[in-house]
Structure 1
Amino acid sequence: MEQVMTGRTKPASGSRAGSLEAWQENSKWFSYGGHAIFSRMAGSGDPLVLLHGFPTASWDWNRIWPMLTQDYSVFALDMLGFGFSDKPSPYRYSIEDQADLVQGWIDGLGLQAVHLMGHDYGCSVVQELLARDQEGSLPFRISSVCFLNGALFPEVHNPLFIQKVLRSRFGGLISRGLTRRVFENNFRRLFGSQNPPDRQDLDDFWHLLVYNNGRGILHHLIQFMEERRCHRNRWVGALQNARQPMRLISGAADPVSGGAMAARYRELIENPDVVSLRNVGHYPHFESPWEVFSAYRTFRKSFGPSDR
């Protein structure tokens, strides 16, 4: 299945789920390995778990949150090292560890079946959870999966120069010395030309990045790029062997994991279900939330409801 949609202009600020401060206040906290993890939950219906990307946080979902919570019970968290969650150092950050965190959180909530939506870094966590599902080691069922721009296939991932430098032996210096100007210049490059982040958006994303010494661990977090290469067979195999309905919603203007990633998905996945959003970059759920919600709702209506 192939669909192409044209991204609309950025929604008015009234479509946000309140301010960043309100997002933080309306939260639930839990512990993982002695570390405090930030989460949010709202809505009613089938459980939908949202997993964010690097280097941002669950706040990425704030524009689409009011739409999703009308139809589903929606759960989101800031993974360890991100956003408002603890950012321990030293710590061995990994996708596998984040998958352990998410698995324990879902199990602790008592959910028997969940739908997953992942973006960027969160896509890799979803792939690891899919692999575990196929091994029969998850205490819950994955009912469906939706991917938003992520490096599902590392061979066609095109990282920014700053991401390459953060992975190098100079990564610690670059991470600790990252300025807001450098961050903004690189962050803006990820967005489509019609939907750039405004000043308030940049204030919010920067605040989440530097919160609780977040700059000091970026070079540790970004090692997930090497994990993708090392676990490529396991995580790509999880996609190819998935029994659940899957859809890729791709911002085609993304310079990092856009058109080439969608093309690779069509090559390697049987009966690929892909929705391409023109003029939309790396953050489709933030840049064009209505189009993402519409594409996701259509996807969910294409198969029956799951058992909760």
Structure 2
Amino acid sequence: MALTSRVADWQRLGTVERVGGHDIFVRERPGDAGLPPLLLLHGYPSSSYDWRDAFDLIAGHRLLTFDFLGFGLSDKPRDQQYSLRIQADIAEELARRFAGEPIVMVAHDMGSSVATELLARDLDGTLSFAPKSALLFNASMVREQASLLLGQKLQLSRIGPLFARLTTESAFRHSFASIYSPAHPLTPAEAEDQWSLLKHNGGHRMLDKLIYYNQERVTPPTSARWHNALRAWPGQLELAWAELDPICTESVLQAVLALRPDTPVTRLPGLGHYPQVEDPKRAYEIIQRHASNH
């Protein structure tokens, strides 16, 4: 299956850059002097295409987003262990182009877990860029409290490789639609776009590899490292939480707040797992406010 015309248009607006020995798809926009740049980190199993409306709805700020290794239009090596640390390495290398300027990190789903590794590096004193603040959307940051989909559980099981090889477009559409809200359902066009990005270079056949990071999040010492980053990072951290997310539920939110009780939370009633796709105007108003305040 070729890329849809919409995804092909998105591809033409970006570039492919050599990062950490791999070809990584990057989309960037310049911004106004004096405003902090935004680094947008996407989730699993999608890509930076999730953030496409940022380029129309975010005013003034320089924007940088990219496809994680194994996702979207980036390289998809079959022999790679898809650790959050590898993805954080790529994010860190790309962020160096901001030349020390403090960065606002905006992340969703897996991207929010990558962000916690970056915060942990900042705590360690090893991060090569300066995070000004972080706004994290729904993510299983305390994975023990998450309600994984059946397909995700199968991907993480012994039959994960077989399950991934047998993944079909209809099965993907059914599963993907289940995490959208009733008031903002997955559209046929969005489903077609997301499947074309997943299938690009055979990504749909390696879902069991791409979800490896879920194992890391419940395995010491990495799990403790990332929980401590949420607890102890001294910067400005906010949460934006879609209340109808069937995976990253209220239980996950409360577990994050138990680690960091005073964290500001903007609740998004009526939205599911992909708030920036389901209701872009609402999601980007929150992002714009956060970036302007910090």
Bucket of the pairwise TM-score, normalised by the shorter protein: over 0.9
1:306 maps to what in 2?
none
8 Å CA contact retained: 2:23, 2:74: yes
Q: TM-score, normalised by structure 1?
A: 0.89
Report the counterpart of residue 48 of structure 2 in structure 1: 58
Matched, 1:112 2:106: no
Q: Which runs of 5+ in 2 are unaligned?
A: none
Q: Percent identity?
A: 31
Contact kept in structure 2, 1:64 and 1:290, CA below 8 Å:
no
Distance 1:87 1:109 in 2: 27
SS of match in other structure, 1:229: coil
Task: Indicate the SS of the match to 2:74.
Answer: coil
Asked whether the 8 Å contact 1:196–1:287 carries over to 2, the reply is yes
The alignment partner of 1:53 has SS state of: coil
Q: Kindly report which structure 2 residues correspond to 1:132-151, keeping only aligned pairs within 5 A, or say none.
A: 132-151=121-140
CA 1:108 to 1:301, structure 2 compared with 1: closer, same or farther past 3 Å? Answer: closer
Q: Deviations over 1:226-267 (max 9, x none)?
A: 111122211111011111111111110000003222222333
Q: Indicate which of 3, 6, 9 corresponds to 1:22.
A: 9
1:120-131 alignment, distance < 5 Å: 120-131=109-120
Cα offset for 1:63? Answer: 2.6
Aligned residue number for residue 217 of structure 1: 206
Higher relative contact order (CA 8 A, sep 6+): 1
Change (3 A) 1:31 1:147: same
Q: How many equivalent residue pairs? A: 285
Give 1:98's match in structure 2, choosing from 64, 67, 87: 87
Q: What code does the residue aligned with 1:204 have?
A: D
Paired position in structure 1 for 2:142: 153
CA contact (8 A) 1:151 1:157 kept: yes
CA-CA distance at 1:121 after TM superposition: 0.7
Q: Is the 8 A contact 2:38 2:63 kept in 1?
A: yes
1:250 to 219, 241, 244: 241
1:197–1:64 distance in 2 versus 1, CA, 3 Å: farther
In the alignment, the residues of structure 1 paired with residue 246 and residue 162 of structure 2 have an alpha-carbon distance, to the nearest angstrom, of 26
Q: Secondary structure at the match of 2:65?
A: strand
- SS of the equivalent of 1:99 reads helix
Which secondary structure state, in structure 2, belongs to the residue aligned with residue 276 of structure 1? strand
The offset of 1:152, in angstroms, is: 1.2
Aligned to 1:89: 78
After superposition, the Cα gap between the structure-2 partners of 1:33 and 1:302, relative to the gap in structure 1 and judged at 3 Å, is closer
- Cα deviation for residue 104 of structure 1 reads 1.2
Which residue does the alignment assign to 2:283? 292
1:269-288 to structure 2, matched below 5 A, reads 269-288=260-279
Structure 2 distance, partners of 1:190, 1:114, is 30
CA contact (8 A) 2:230 2:256 kept: no
SS in 1 for 2:185: coil
| 2:24–2:66 contact (8 Å) kept in structure 1 | yes
Query: For each residue in 1:110-149, what CA deviation from the matched residue of structure 2 results, as whole angstroms up to 9, or x when unmatched?
Result: 3532110111110111000000001110121100000011
TM-score if structure 2 supplies the norm length? 0.93
**Could you tell me which residue of structure 1 aligns to residue 259 of structure 2?**
268
Give, in whole Å, the separation in 1 of the partners of 2:232 and 2:159.
38
Counterpart AA for 2:218: R
Q: Provide the residue aligned with 2:37 in structure 1.
A: 47
**Amino acid paired to 1:181:** S
- CA-based RMSD: 1.5
Q: Show CA shifts across 1:144-190 (max 9, x none).
A: 00001101111211110000001111111111110111101110111
